[in-house]
Amino acid sequence: MKSVVTTVIASADAAGRFPSTSDLESVQGSIQRAAARLEAAEKLANNLDAVATEAYNAAIKKYSYLNNAGEANSTDTFKSKCARDIKHYLRLIQYSLVVGGTGPLDEWGIAGQREVYRALGLPTAPYVEALSFARNRGCAPRDMSAQALTEYNALLDYAINSLS
């Protein structure tokens, strides 16, 4: 799994050099932001089900046609799978907060996702809406500190951009 440390080391190794000063500064910055990331991960863990449910409801409200017969949210099974996928993305964001890099999102959430959704005939716009809702709903200091919210939102933006 990629973290900022493994990414820096792998990049330096690939270039046939030792990590540079700027590489080490990048690692240091990540370590300095670790407390905020862990706060965000903890807050998300404590509210994961509620955040996922609210995000799912926001997506279905915007794309209500998905409830029509034959659409991606038309049966109880499809509904539970959609809600499960939103929760899965949020959990990967939580894991990414803990490791301090996008590795979990890249490896388990983003790699091949467009192809899978296209092959299954699933639209990505509802997932973008759900993650955007989760991003826009977050509030400092109500939900977490400003720095923790910044770390959380950065990963949500990363996931949103990958689905867009």
Annotated binding-site residues for (2R,3E)-phycocyanobilin read 82
Q: C-alpha 121: how far from its chain's center? A: 22
* Nearest Cα to Cα of residue 86 among 55, 132, 44, 120: 55
Longest Cα pair distance anywhere in the chain, in angstroms? 58
Residue ranges for the known binding site are 82
- Burial label for 40, CB within 10 Å (0-12, 13-18, 19+), is buried
Owner of token pair 């983003």: 110
